[in-house]
């Protein structure tokens, strides 16, 4: 019962008591005058109660690291490919409510994914690095997913990175540190949630590789583990306790980059569509979908790869919108981010007002895969010349091709030559599969190629880490107006709790 309803009922009771007390003193004329007002109050109160609707299906879609500029750059990129001036719409950029959220954690104005995930999942602030515990690490928080599940709603948790990474884990685990991957993987099946999908476990046998297998633990707890396209297709509505791991992932569990197009890999959109099919039921469900690798490419300041990740995330949102159109009065969709990564902006000193996002189309490989390509190329061609290396750069990034608007001046060629010397003469090595949080030295050929392409497109970055900027919030459906005017990230699950009528 909302506050307006309470005020109206109290006022109605007061009027009725006053009327009853003075009824003998009232003339028929006065009684006829006051009765319509009382009736109006009663009807008005009933209308408030009748129109107070709840959501039955709630979707929270999190673009990890996806600030407003990551979204806008993707819109401009799409428009450039269509030869349009101005931004092109993504599936969620025309939602009726477009707001923003603050993201600071309990101990830092710049949050990490664990603290931000905790806020989005449980409605509580905590320290960076902590998952669903208070700042003293003594109190455990109950997440919106756990509350919904206890109330009879089905629950699905999806991501494009490892299922035990900070954001997805924030909805089912309670750990002192986000890097306790093994402990997180053991806690996952304890949730009893009906559907998990995404990347695999990061350390399924612990850091030393000598612990009981987390996948086997999953099976003993009643979960069906699926890792093939055929098994994926066979899963249907009514199946429960399902964990689908993408059949094509990196060894550490995350999806391959969308820009690299692995045909046999499942997409986040396909997993979302399958999740809706599995979870759909008369009671309702809660689903969290994370586009996790947006953050990773932003850590690497790789604009083209970031845009492809945003588009892959957008495809997942599109699947959710299809469901919404079938149940518009019972569904709420919220698209947001846990934080912004990289401090992306669309301007730089050298090219100033010359914003050309369409130039990013000439990058056709992720920085990670080009780094691996270079490792193999150096082994096969240890004496390769600078000109030969630049032919590779032109093939995969377009740099040096004047017809594409990507000619390099003398300073830019010198900049690339320094990287060539570092790798082919000084034999500096960099692991292309390094942890995505590890800072780049920006001395490799791939780092410098990406920097130059970004600059020519008009993109620049302030860091390789998170920023403290507010993030966008897009909402459509039942309860959408509750997100107007800006919210803190802790308010989002509290709104869900209200709309799902959870105790």
Mean pLDDT in the chain? 90
Answer yes or no: is 184 within a domain: yes
Answer yes or no: is 349 within a domain: no
Query: Which of 126, 143, 64 has the alpha carbon at shortest distance from 494?
Result: 143
- Residue 336 sits in the same domain as residue 448: no
**pLDDT (average), residues 316-326:** 98
- Residue 281 sits in the same domain as residue 314: yes
Answer yes or no: is 350 within a domain: no
**pLDDT (average), residues 15-39:** 45
Between 360 and 31, where is the model more confident?
360
- Residue 145 sits in the same domain as residue 247: yes
Answer yes or no: is 352 within a domain: no
Contact between 156 and 194 under an 8 Å Cβ cutoff? The reply is yes
Between 351 and 359, where is the model more confident?
359
CA 481 – CA 485 distance, rounded (Å): 9
CA 21 – CA 153 distance, rounded (Å): 49
pLDDT confidence of 428, banded at 50, 70, 90?
confident
CA 292 – CA 313 distance, rounded (Å): 9
- Residue 271 sits in the same domain as residue 368: no
Domain total in the chain: 3
- Residue 135 sits in the same domain as residue 9: no
Answer yes or no: is 280 within a domain: yes
Answer yes or no: is 396 within a domain: yes
- Residue 45 sits in the same domain as residue 109: no
Query: Which of 216, 214, 152 has the alpha carbon at shortest distance from 185?
Result: 214
Over the stretch 120-155, which tens digit does the pLDDT of each residue have? 999 999 999 999 999 999 999 999 999 999 999 999
- Residue 114 sits in the same domain as residue 83: yes
CA 351 – CA 8 distance, rounded (Å): 61
- Residue 361 sits in the same domain as residue 487: no
Q: Give the domain range for residue 365.
A: 357-457
- Residue 398 sits in the same domain as residue 485: no
Kindly give the pairing relationship between strand 57-63 and strand 285-291: parallel
- Residue 338 sits in the same domain as residue 232: yes
- Residue 385 sits in the same domain as residue 239: no
Answer yes or no: is 229 within a domain: yes
Confidence (pLDDT) at 441: 64
Confidence (pLDDT) at 323: 98
- Residue 24 sits in the same domain as residue 85: no
CA 139 – CA 154 distance, rounded (Å): 26
Answer yes or no: is 351 within a domain: no
Question: Looking at the predicted structure, is the pLDDT value of residue 3 above 50?
Answer: no
């Amino acid at each position: 019962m909302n506050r307006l309803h309470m005020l109206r009922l109290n006022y109605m009771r007061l009027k009725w008591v006053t009327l009853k007390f003075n009824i003998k003193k009232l003339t028929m004329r006065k009684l006829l005058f006051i009765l319509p007002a009382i009736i109006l109050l009663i009807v008005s109160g009933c209308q408030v109660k009748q129109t107070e609707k709840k959501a039955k299906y709630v979707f929270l879609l999190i673009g990890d690291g996806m600030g407003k500029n990551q979204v806008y750059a993707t819109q401009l990129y799409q428009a450039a490919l269509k030869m349009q001036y101005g931004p092109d719409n993504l599936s969620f950029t025309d939602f009726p409510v477009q707001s923003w959220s603050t993201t600071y954690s309990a101990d830092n104005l710049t949050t990490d994914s664990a603290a931000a995930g905790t806020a989005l999942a449980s409605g509580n602030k905590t320290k960076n690095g902590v998952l669903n515990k208070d700042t003293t690490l003594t109190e455990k928080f109950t997440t919106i997913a756990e509350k919904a599940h206890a109330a009879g709603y089905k629950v699905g948790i999806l991501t494009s990175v490892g299922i035990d990474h900070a954001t997805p884990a924030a909805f089912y685990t309670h750990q002192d540190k986000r890097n306790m991957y093994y402990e997180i993987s053991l806690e996952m099946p304890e949730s009893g949630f009906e559907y998990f999908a995404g990347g695999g476990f990061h350390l399924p046998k612990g850091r030393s590789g000598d612990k009981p297998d987390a996948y086997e633990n999953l099976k003993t707890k009643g979960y069906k583990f699926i890792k093939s396209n055929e098994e994926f297709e066979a899963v249907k509505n009514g199946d429960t306790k399902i964990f689908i791991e993408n059949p094509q992932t990196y060894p550490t569990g995350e999806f391959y980059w969308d820009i690299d197009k692995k045909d046999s890999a499942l997409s986040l959109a396909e997993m979302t569509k399958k999740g809706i099919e599995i979870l759909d039921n008369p009671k309702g469900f809660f689903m969290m979908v994370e586009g996790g690798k947006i953050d990773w490419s932003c850590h690497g300041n790789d604009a083209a790869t970031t845009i492809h990740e945003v588009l892959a995330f957008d495809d997942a949102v599109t699947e959710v919108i299809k469901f919404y159109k079938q149940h518009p009065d019972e569904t709420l969709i919220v698209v947001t981010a846990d934080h912004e990564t990289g401090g992306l902006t669309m301007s730089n000193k050298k090219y100033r007002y010359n914003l050309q996002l369409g130039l990013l189309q000439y990058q056709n490989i992720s920085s990670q895969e080009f780094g691996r390509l270079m490792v193999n190329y150096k082994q096969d061609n240890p004496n390769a010349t600078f000109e030969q290396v630049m032919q590779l750069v032109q093939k995969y990034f377009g740099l040096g091709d004047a017809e594409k608007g990507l000619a390099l001046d003398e300073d830019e060629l010198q900049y690339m030559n320094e990287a060539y010397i570092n790798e082919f003469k000084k034999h500096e090595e960099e692991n292309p599969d390094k942890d995505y949080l590890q800072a780049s030295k920006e001395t490799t050929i791939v780092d410098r190629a990406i920097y130059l392409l970004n600059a020519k497109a008009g993109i620049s970055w302030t860091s390789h880490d998170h920023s403290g900027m507010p993030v966008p919030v897009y909402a459509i459906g039942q309860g959408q107006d509750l997100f107007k005017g800006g919210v803190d990230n802790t308010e989002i699950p509290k709104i869900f709790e209200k709309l799902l009528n959870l105790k």
